[in-house]
Amino acid sequence: MNVLFIHQAFPAQFGRLSLELTKRYGWTCDFLVENLSSCPTPSAEMLERLKLYRIPTPTEARDQAPTPWPQIHAKYLGLCSAVFHAAEGIPDLKPDLIVGHGGRGSPTVFLPDLFDCPILNYCEYYFSTDPRSDISYRIDLPPANDVAPFFPRCINAPVLVALTNADGGYSATRWQKQSFPKRFHPKIEVQFDGIDTEIYCPKEGTPRVIAGRAIPKGTKIVTFVARGLESMRGFDVFMKVAARIARQRSDVLFVIAGNDHAYYGWDPLHVGQASFKSWVLDRVKHDPDRFLFTGQVSPEVLADILRLSDLHLYLTVPFVLSWSLLDAMACGCVVLGSDVPPVREVIDNGIHGLIEPLFDLDHLTETALRVLDDPATYKPLGNAARARMEADYSLDVCVPRLKDYFERMASRRLASALPDADV
């Protein structure tokens, strides 16, 4: 089967999945992308096996407007047009199935005029209009902009246009599917795309060196990972908890992986020109020598960091689940997460990890200290987390399911195109 994946970045959500489809089943996977990602960086094997075509940046995407709705919609329609013309100019593209990323609207709405094949959307998330949810969950950092309340409806409109146009869609988790309006639920399946449990795995004898710094054997390591060190992923909460832990224990090193960019929420409206990271560090009293910031790292480096972790903190608001949480669980980390629905979907409290309310600094600190004081008691949580990743979230489990789903959706269009049998 030939699948055309469409995403503004590569490899992003589709890179590893498409590589597995080519290696396991001999499928052909083509990509229309705007840019190559630096986190994660495409592997040499991906670039060798997968065929990438570039989408030119549409002129509409550069337009700026004083309110968000013209900008969002013009950018979306411009991208749809750019995708159409890019695909039109590649005569070798003959997909049996098109899969588009629908984070801000899958740019596939014009493609039925070009290809006679099913279109699927990766239904990442549907923003809530509830004033206490996702980008507005942080009531301590409320939107400082009079158009902010309209943002969810603005960003959801292209998502709905694309989903209505598509033949079907899939979400990575049940909670992400449930974020969409109920009338669309029959059109969306839950299909997770897989964690590489061979890279992210426990490994005895991992060198105790992080970012060139040798870590003494008796030092405890507390980890925090996020693509961006921002409020929606609880970086400021982590720093406050870490500062409290540091005052109680002198043997803990805090290792933070992620860049300074805020991808979601209203952080720039609060901190001005400074990054949210620097804004937080200026306000939380801490010893810089006990905090190691690695920036973005490769999957292999991240796996080595997580293997050394004595406790991993994941302190998100209710939002799209970070793959870093599942990576940590696959490495056998003892995880302390925030008590929100997407976390509860993968962690049963006291079985696969520990959960505490996001804003309860006292309970977060007390729980973290208990783990650091008695690691042997809590080690079974990490073992159970690893077992759950292998059983339910590994590539070996998820890729065959997605392969079957893609084939099933492709066959529906084929079946509907066949003439009715004589009776």
Tell me the DSSP string of 124-142: ------SSSSGGG--TTS-
pTM for this structure?
0.92
What span, in angstroms and rounded, lies between the C-alpha atoms of 334 and 357? 17
Domain boundaries, the chain: 2-194+395-417, 209-393
What span, in angstroms and rounded, lies between the C-alpha atoms of 98 and 165? 12
pLDDT of residue 421: 40
Strand partners, 353: 349
Q: Which CATH superfamily is domain 2-194+395-417 in?
A: Glycogen Phosphorylase B; (3.40.50.2000)
Strand partners, 394: 195
Chain centre to alpha carbon of residue 333:
19
- Among 320, 333, 306, 326, residue whose Cα is nearest residue 393: 326
Q: Would 2-194+395-417 and 209-393 be classified into the same CATH topology?
A: yes
Peptide bond into 11 cis (omega under 30): yes
pLDDT of residue 63: 47
pLDDT of residue 75: 86
Chain centre to alpha carbon of residue 44:
22
Tokens for 73, please give them: 């919609």
Class of domain 209-393: alpha beta
Biggest CA-to-CA distance, the chain? 81
The tens place of each residue's pLDDT in the chain, 423 residues long, gives 999 999 988 888 899 999 999 999 999 999 999 888 766 788 889 988 999 999 887 664 444 555 556 678 888 999 999 999 999 999 999 999 999 998 878 999 999 999 999 999 999 999 998 878 898 888 888 765 666 778 888 889 999 999 999 999 999 999 999 999 999 999 999 999 999 999 999 999 999 999 999 999 999 999 999 999 999 999 999 999 999 999 999 999 999 999 999 888 888 888 877 899 999 999 999 999 999 999 999 999 999 999 999 999 999 999 999 999 999 999 999 999 999 999 999 999 999 999 999 999 999 999 999 999 999 999 999 999 999 999 999 999 999 999 999 999 998 765 554 454 443
pLDDT of residue 70: 65
What span, in angstroms and rounded, lies between the C-alpha atoms of 138 and 265? 9
What span, in angstroms and rounded, lies between the C-alpha atoms of 308 and 327? 13
With a CB cutoff of 8 Å and minimum separation 6, the contacts of 314 are: 224, 225, 234, 322, 324, 325, 328, 335, 336, 337, 338, 343
C-alpha dihedral sign at 238, 40, 171, 200? negative
Please check whether residue 191 is in contact with residue 170, taking contact to mean a CB–CB distance below 8 angstroms. Answer: yes
Q: How far is residue 142 from each of residues 111, 152, 320, 355, measured CA to CA in Å?
A: 39, 15, 20, 25
Please check whether residue 196 is in contact with residue 328, taking contact to mean a CB–CB distance below 8 angstroms. Answer: no
Q: Which amino acid is at 360?
A: D
